[in-house]
Amino acid sequence: MVFITAEIGINHNGDIKIAKKLIDLAVSSGCDAVKFQKRTVNKVYSKEVLDGPRESPWGTTQREQKEGLEFSTTDYKIIDKYCKQKNIQWYLSCWDIDSQIEMRKFKTKYNKVASAMLIHTKLLEIIAEEKKHTFISTGMSTINDISKAIKIFKKYKCPFELMHSHSSYPMKIEEANLKLIQTLKNKFKCDVGYSGHESAASLICITAVLQGATSIERHITLDRTMYGSDQAASLEPEGLMRLVRDVRVLDIILGDGKKKIWDSEKSAMKKLRERLV
């Protein structure tokens, strides 16, 4: 069955109430997990970048904007408890080593490597040594970049799954290149999912499943007009519900690939072949 993650990311806008509403949406839609992002702002961005101007609900600098979007450990304790109450898995993509180590206390079942971090060798080693099933996004990366990352996960005997991805928000549909899913599967002999950033509803994700994607990750939002750089490339409630419904139907339609005679065929077989026996 295709594993479906609702990527909350930073679309909660630093508000735990919004985060809970997005978790509720993922649960009611039938998703398997929700995902967040975690950064130690001073580790991920330079002082020059953080001192730069940026208008946001939290102030006029990049630092104020980025810190406003970060949840604290206390916030994640609330999220952990809430997801357990709602019976849904949650996990994170951490963008620095300090965040990855800090989040270990929650003992989540999965890890995620963001496309931006695919070449961060030290972070990949910290993630791989946890030996959790890890989704590895491959946006803005070469085959060589991907190969180097995989070697780290194999070195630590950490289970992983590649995620075909494109790192523009939103992605142009003519750059989806979904045939790459099979290319990655054949080259690296592993499962490959799809992490989508398109503004289109479910067509691309459905096509990804038809191309053999074993997992789907899509950003979700309560309203695309909310503040945030990821909102426009996110699915609103109706779109998420439709996507999960269609993927679950596809799971049934595609079957297991094994030839068999169904019980429902036997009466027709008896009627239509009886003179041939």
Please give the pLDDT value at position 199: 81
Yes or no: say if 62 and 54 are a contact pair by the CB < 8 Å rule.
yes
CA 98 to centroid of chain Cα atoms: 22
Q: Does the pLDDT at position 201 exceed 90?
A: no
Q: Which residues on neighbouring strands pair with residue 38, listed in sequence order?
A: 94
Domain boundaries, the chain: 3-276
Please give the pLDDT value at position 124: 98
Question: What number is the average pLDDT over the span 192-210?
Answer: 91
pLDDT digit string (tens) for 150-165? 999 999 999 999 999 9
Give the helix/strand (H/E) hosting 228: none
Within 10 A of 215 (CB to CB), how many other CB atoms are there? 22
Domain 3-276: which CATH number of 3.30.360.10, 3.40.50.300, 3.20.20.70, 3.30.1330.40: 3.20.20.70
pLDDT digit string (tens) for 169-179? 889 999 999 99
Please give the pLDDT value at position 202: 86
Please give the pLDDT value at position 200: 72
Side-chain-side CA neighbours of 61 within 13 Å: the count stands at 11
How many angstroms separate the CA atoms of 200 and 232, rounded? 10
pLDDT digit string (tens) for 83-140? 999 999 999 999 999 999 999 999 999 999 999 999 999 999 999 999 999 999 999 9
Question: What number is the average pLDDT over the span 49-59?
Answer: 97
Least confident of 161-165, 188-192, 196-200, 270-274: 196-200
Considering the entire predicted model, what is its pTM?
Answer: 0.95
Torsion-angle region of residue 253: left (phi > 0), alpha (psi -120 to 50) or beta?
Answer: alpha
